[in-house]
Amino acid sequence: MNRSREGKTTHFGYQQVPVEEKARLVGAIFDSVASRYDLLNDVMSFGMHRLWRRFAVGASGARAGSRILDLAGGTGEFTARLASQVGPEGLVVLAEINETMLRLGRERLVGRGIESGVELVQADAEKLPFAEDYFDCATMAFGLRNVTDQDAVLAATYRVLKPGAPVIILEFSHPTIWGFSSLYDLYSFLVMPVMGRLVAGNGGGYRYLAESIRVHPDQVTLKGMMEDAGFERCEYLNLSGGIVAVHRGFKPV
C-alpha cells in the first residue's frame, strides 16, 4: 500500500471511501455495464454524446500522422474517431485500466475494421507507462471523474505530452443555464437509475454516475487544476448548457 494514502478517503459519488477502494468500486460498476455501455450512452444522452465527442475530436487538432493518447478509452468509441483523423500513418493508443472494457474495446475496434494504427494498453491513468514527451495530443472522454487522484492524472498526462501538445478533457460538468439544474437533477436521480436498471440491470451504478457528476470539479475549478499541473492557455467550452464541457490546455514549449 502507498503509505501516503493510508487512512485517507475520497469520494465515491456522495460516499467517502478509502482511497485504495475507489478503483475497485468503480471497476465493479464498469464490469457490470460494459456489454451495454455504448447502448446506455446513446439512450441516456439521447445520442448527444456522439456530437460531444465529435466536437472534442475537432478541438484536439488531430491530423494525419499524429500520435495520440486516448486515456480511459473504454470501448473505443473515441479511439475510433481519433484513428480516422490520424490515418494509417498515425497512432492512437487506447489506455484503459478496466480489463473488461479494454477487451470490448478491442473487439469493437476490430469489428469496425480498425486494427492498424491503434494500440490498446491496460494502464492506470495515474501512472502512465509511456516515455516523457511522447504524444502529440492526449484526450480523456468521460473518465476523469472516475479516477482516484485527478491531480496525479493531470501530472502524468503532462509528462507524456510533447512540448506544445494539447490535452483535451471531455467531461460531464455543471449546468450554467438558470433554472436548469433542478430539471437535470430530476432526470439524473430519478430517470437515469431506472434506465440503467432496465437496460443494464444496474440502477445503482447510474446513481453513482449522477452523484459523481455532482462532486466533480466545476468548469472553473478544473481549469485551475490544469493550470496547477503546468498546462497553459487553458480554456473550456460548455456544451448543452454546461451538462458537458470540453477543457483544453497546452504543455508549454
Euclidean distance between CA atoms 125 and 199, whole angstroms: 29
Of 9-23, 70-84, 181-195, 200-214, minimum mean pLDDT range: 200-214
- Looking at per-residue pLDDT, the higher value among 151 and 32 belongs to 151
- Which residues are registered as beta bridge partners of 95? 71, 121
Cβ atoms < 10 Å from Cβ of 188: 21
Higher-scoring residue by pLDDT: 32, 3: 32
Reported as half-sphere exposure (CB side, CA atoms, 13 A), residue 218 has a value of 5
- The per-residue pLDDT for 186 is 80
Q: Given this model, what pLDDT does residue 128 score? A: 97
Q: Which residue do the cell numbers 474495446 mark?
A: 105
Domains and CATH numbers, the chain: 9-176+209-250 (3.40.50.150)
Distance CA 13, CA 16 (A): 8
Q: Is the pLDDT of residue 212 over 80?
A: yes
- Using the 8-state DSSP alphabet, how is residue 189 labeled? I
- Structure-model confidence comparison of residues 169 and 204, the more confident one: 169
The mean per-residue pLDDT over the stretch 237-247 comes to: 94
Q: Please count the other Cβ atoms lying within 10 Å of the Cβ belonging to residue 7.
A: 8
In tens, the pLDDT along 23-56 reads 888 888 888 777 777 777 777 777 888 899 999 9
